[in-house]
């Protein structure tokens, strides 16, 4: 016995083909009843349409059964339309398949009743093959619609995200400019005031110091915001030159010296005794290192320890900043470089910050073709940030160099925070 579907298709089954053509309406009525009972959730409006169209489908199946060896695409064309309708009416794939299964059962049942004899095995197979073809054609169309819809949704989601990101950058830029404009006259006025009154009135001098520090801090935040906005809009440019990494690192140490001292931290430095060259924007590298040192000082309880290591490793010039401070919980570790991400404990302990520093640091490092990573064994167990920048080829000699260790600041008395 040949059970290949092509062989089944090639056999003519005139008797059952005629019955299907002749009684198409009666079969559809019966199917409607069964389908309504079993598939209550499926859209009824669709059933009405199917009721009108199914007789033509059954007629096409009847014709295909009668013909021998003549592939007939008519049933499949109808089935494709069924796939369209079911998609449009919000059916599930399970409902779609079940609908055809019910139709097959109704057809086989009806044929047996009207033939007055059991169906031959090959007749049952022939009907089954045609219904299976219809299921495949219908599913094919349904899935194509679903794929299109998914692609559209993905596309819409991606462009909504892009739009949001663009508006965020625009907002940051506007905010930055709006904040920077009043800052310049404030700082100028401060300088004038200091000249005029500070020397005669020490209390005024102290207030001016506070104003000075705070407005400088505000100025740094505003600059960070503007940098982020420029990077986001692709308008940021590095001023790269051939530099010795030790220079920007020393600059970063100067920038953070006051803060580290004021918190009474010990600072361990490990810096090579020979140059470590790279193509980089010295100002921006200093900004990166200063940011990491500031965080280490900020997120470490007074009189803690900070380690700064600079060294050459394989193709990279590496800056490591480690501290024995409050540490970072594992769920936060994956988010520290996100814009506006701040750990709960950073906020509750009143540490100032917007959560933009590390986002900017990461983007600056990436602009250099480098990477930055953060590790921490958990809360209370310190943190380490490692920056890797591409090193200038030919500086391999630095690898052999053992960095010189120095302990820069020993603990100094701390004012109560
Ligand atoms: P900010 O310090 O202004 O909040 P950052 O982007 O520099 O923003 O840092 C984001 C967050 O990462 C901080 O709020 C803090 O929760 C965490 N973090 C950064 N550096 C450290 C560190 N050295 N130790 C512990 N937590 C840190």
DSSP 90: T
- Burial category of 15 from C-beta neighbours within 10 Å (exposed 0-12, middle 13-18, buried 19 and up): middle
User: Which pLDDT does position 275 carry in this prediction?
Assistant: 93
What are the residue ranges spanned by the domains of the chain? 5-154, 167-232, 242-409
Task: Compute the distance between CA of residue 249 and CA of residue 110 in angstroms, rounded to an integer.
Answer: 88
Please name the helix (run of DSSP H) or strand (run of DSSP E) that holds residue 93, with its range, or none: helix 93-115
Query: How much is the pLDDT for 221?
Result: 86
Distance 121 CA to ligand 1 centre (A): 75
Ligand 1 atom showing the smallest separation from residue 354 Cα: 3
CATH topology (fold) of 242-409: Heat Shock Protein 90 (3.30.565)
Structure tokens at 110: 């009806």
The CATH topology of domain 5-154 is Globin-like (1.10.490)
Mutational pocket test of ligand 1: of 326, 346, 376, the residue with most ligand atoms within 8 Å of the beta carbon: 346
Instruction: Tell me the C-alpha distance between 398 and 213, whole Å.
Output: 39
Give the Å distances, CA to CA, from 150 to 146, 322, 343.
6, 46, 35
Q: What is the DSSP letter of 72?
A: -
Residue 41 to residues 28, 52, 152, 248: CA-CA distances in angstroms? Answer: 19, 20, 27, 69
How many angstroms separate the CA atoms of 262 and 366, rounded? 32
**Atom 8 of ligand 1, residue of closest alpha carbon:** 355
Distance between start and end Cα atoms, the chain: 93
Which residue CA neighbors atom 23 of ligand 1 most closely? 296
Ligand 1, atom 16, lies closest to the CA of 343
pLDDT, position 413: 42
Q: What is the 3-state secondary structure (H, E, C) of 111-158?
A: HHHHHCCCCCHHHHHHHHHHHHHHHHHHHHHHHHHHHHHHHHHHHHHH
Å from CA of 153 to ligand 1 middle: 35
Give the pair of three-digit tokens for residue 211.
């104003």
Q: CA-to-CA distance for 168 and 162, rounded, in angstroms? A: 10
How far does the centroid of ligand 1 lie from the alpha carbon of residue 254, in Å? Answer: 21
Could you tell me the distance, in angstroms and rounded to a whole number, from the CA of residue 279 to the centre of ligand 1?
Answer: 28
Below-70 pLDDT ranges, the chain: 1-3, 44-45, 68-71, 198-199, 345-352, 393-417
Strand 316-323 and strand 371-375: the pairing is: unpaired
- DSSP for 283-342 reads HHHHHHHHHHHHHHHHTS-TT-EEEEEEEEETTEEEEEEEE-SS---HHHHTTTTSTT--
Pocket test for ligand 1, best of 299, 324, 345 (most atoms within 8 A of CB): 299
Residues with CB under 6 A from ligand 1: 295-296, 299, 323, 325-328, 336, 341-343, 346, 353-359, 383
Give pLDDT, residue 414.
41
Confidence (pLDDT) at 160: 94
User: Across the chain, how many H-helices and E-strands are there?
Assistant: 14, 8
Strand 383-390 to strand 241-244: parallel, antiparallel, or no bridges (unpaired)? Answer: unpaired
Q: What are 97's two structure tokens? A: 């398949």
Q: Name the helix (H) or strand (E) containing 268.
A: strand 266-271
Question: Which residue matches tokens 């005629």?
Answer: 18
Q: Is 357 exposed, middle or buried (0-12, 13-18, 19+ CB in 10 A)?
A: buried
Q: What is the DSSP string of 207-252?
A: HHHHHHHHHHHHHHHHHHHHHHHHHHTT------EEEETHHHHHHH
Q: Contact at 8 Å (CB) between 308 and 409?
A: no
Residue 322 CA to ligand 1 center (angstroms) comes to 13
Residue 364 Cα to ligand 1 midpoint, Å, equals 16
Summarised one tens digit per residue, pLDDT across range 351-379 is: 667 788 999 999 999 999 999 999 999 99
Q: What is the reported pLDDT for 3?
A: 60
Q: What share of the chain is helix, strand, coil (3-state, %, to 5)?
A: 60, 10, 25
Q: Which residues contact 43 (CB under 8 A, 6 or more apart)?
A: 89, 90, 91
Q: Is the Cβ–Cβ distance between 392 and 276 less than 8 Å?
A: no
Position 23 scores a pLDDT of 95
User: Which residue of 265, 342, 351 sits with most ligand 1 atoms within 8 Å of its CB, as the best mutation to test the pocket?
Assistant: 342
**Residue 303 Cα distances to 258, 265, 320, angstroms:** 14, 4, 20
Q: Report the distance separating Cα 116 and Cα 128, nearest Å.
A: 20
In this structure, what is the dihedral angle of CA atoms 368, 369, 372, 373, given to the nearest 10 degrees?
180
**pLDDT value of position 404:** 61
- For ligand 1, the distance from its centroid to the CA atom of residue 324, given in whole angstroms, is 14
The pTM for the full model equals: 0.66
Query: Would you state the CATH architecture of domain 167-232?
Result: Orthogonal Bundle (1.10)
């Amino acid at each position: 016995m040949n059970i290949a579907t092509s062989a089944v298709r090639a056999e003519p089954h005139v008797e059952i083909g005629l019955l299907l053509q002749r009684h198409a309406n009666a079969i559809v009525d019966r199917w409607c009843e069964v389908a309504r009972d079993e598939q209550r959730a499926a859209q009824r409006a669709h059933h009405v349409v199917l009721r009108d169209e199914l007789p033509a489908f059954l007629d096409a199946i009847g014709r295909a059964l009668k013909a021998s060896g003549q592939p007939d695409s008519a049933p499949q064309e109808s089935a494709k339309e069924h796939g369209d309708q079911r998609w449009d009416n919000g059916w599930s794939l399970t409902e779609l398949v079940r609908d055809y299964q019910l139709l097959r059962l109704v057809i086989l049942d009806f044929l047996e009743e009207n033939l007055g004899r059991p169906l031959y095995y090959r007749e049952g197979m022939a009907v089954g093959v045609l219904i299976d073809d219809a299921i495949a054609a219908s599913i094919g169309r349904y899935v194509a619609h679903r794929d299109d819809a998914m692609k559209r949704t993905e596309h819409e989601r991606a462009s909504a995200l892009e739009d949001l990101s663009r508006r965020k950058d625009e907002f940051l830029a506007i905010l930055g400019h709006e904040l920077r404009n009043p800052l310049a006259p404030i700082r100028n006025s401060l300088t004038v005031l200091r000249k005029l009154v500070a020397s005669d009135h020490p209390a005024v001098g102290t207030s001016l110091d506070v104003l000075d520090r705070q407005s400088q801090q505000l100025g740094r935040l505003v600059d960070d915001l503007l940098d982020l906005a420029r990077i986001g809009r692709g308008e940021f440019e590095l001023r790269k030159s051939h530099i010795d990494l030790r220079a920007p690192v020393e600059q970063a140490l100067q920038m953070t010296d006051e803060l580290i001292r004021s918190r009474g931290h010990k600072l361990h430095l490990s810096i090579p005794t020979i140059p470590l060259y790279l193509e980089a924007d010295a100002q921006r590298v200093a900004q990166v290192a200063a940011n990491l040192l500031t965080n280490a000082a900020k997120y470490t309880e007074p009189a803690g320890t900070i380690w700064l290591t600079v060294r050459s490793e394989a193709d990279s010039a590496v800056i490591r900043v480690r501290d024995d401070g409050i540490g970072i919980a594992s769920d936060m570790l994956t988010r520290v470089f996100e814009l506006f991400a701040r750990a709960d404990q950073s906020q509750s302990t009143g540490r100032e910050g917007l959560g933009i520093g590390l986002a900017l640091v990461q983007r600056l490092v990436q602009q250099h073709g480098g990477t930055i990573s953060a590790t921490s064994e958990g809360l209370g167990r310190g943190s380490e940030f490692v920056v890797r920048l591409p090193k200038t080829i030919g500086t391999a000699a630095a690898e052999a160099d053992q960095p010189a260790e120095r302990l820069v600041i020993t603990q100094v008395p701390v004012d109560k925070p």
